[in-house]
A = this chain, B = another copy of it.
Amino acid sequence: MEQDTQINNEDTIKLKLRRVIFGTDTRLGRYFDISLIICIILSVTLVFLDTVASINSQYGQLISILEWFFTIVFTIEYLLRLYCSAQPVQYVRSFYGVVDLLSILPSYLALLFPGANFTLVIRILRLFRIFRVLKLLRYLSEGNVLLRAMLQSGRKVFIFFFSVSLIVMVLSAIMYVVEGPGNGFTSIPKSIYWTIVTITTVGYGDITPGTNLGQAIAAFTMLLGYSIIAIPTGILTAEISQEMGKSKDLRRCSNCLKTGHENDASYCDHCGSELEAEI
């Protein structure tokens, strides 16, 4: 009997913890999420600042102490998640489970393999920690409209990028022959780099055409990039407009069959008969 109550107590604690850690519908759950986001942002900022030579030489020790503090906080968080999860194995295998593990592993691995560059590469993985914040985005309907519009326009955008990449390759090959290694176009891959720099209107200026013909082709490439930027914008805008329009209203007037009423309309604006509520 006593044991049974204990198990029940444990279950209650587990359930409460689960609501706080995994859920966002309680006040404590929201506090937990917000403080987690703050920890993530601070720890990532630390990693970034640590790479600045002047800061590293002055506050290096403080940063590594704070680093360990956040590692321990995230480790406790990971263990709590494991403990209160309904299906621990599924959690470990899930996308967020892997991200959670990756956010604490680098510090422990740095202990085992102390090598500057190697640690840095792993530390980058820690950045994925911040994607947990995206969990919140699921609750914003705005994100859905954007996502739907992007998925809808996916195939059109793919065709666009496929055509652009063909044009880029042809232009790169031509520029390689026209300009040659003397003007920085040392190979076709390097020439592709230049073409992308130009067609996206970035224009670093580290490689620039030197011959008259090369400059004419470059001018053509720029004008091309300048014009075709309109295409994905046009596709996406049209899709977003449609998605917004869709979310307006699907009711059809039973009297005159008109559709496309405003969301808050109670009467058909064409014949004046009452509209039925949406089902």
Contacts and interface: CB of A to CB of B under 8 A. Distances in A.
A229 B268 CA distance: 38
B200 A200 contact: no
Interface residues of A, number: 103
A127 interface: yes
A233 B235 contact: no
Contacts of A92: none
Contact of A234 (B48, B127, B240): B240
Interface string A38-80: 0000001001110111000000000000000000000000000
Q: How many copies does the complex hold?
A: 4
Nearest to A147: B159
Which of A161, A201, A204: most chain B Cβ within 10 A? A204
Given A262-B262, A274-B272, A208 B206 contact: yes
A155 B176 contact: no
B231 A229 contact: no
A254 interface: no
Contacts of A140: 155, 159
Contacts of A202: 198, 201-203, 222, 225
Interface of A: 44, 47-49, 51-53, 117, 120-121, 123-124, 127-128, 130-131, 134, 137, 140, 142-143, 145-146, 149-150, 155-157, 159-163, 166, 169-170, 173-174, 176-177, 186-190, 192-193, 196-206, 208, 212, 215-216, 218-219, 222-223, 225-227, 229-242, 244, 257-275
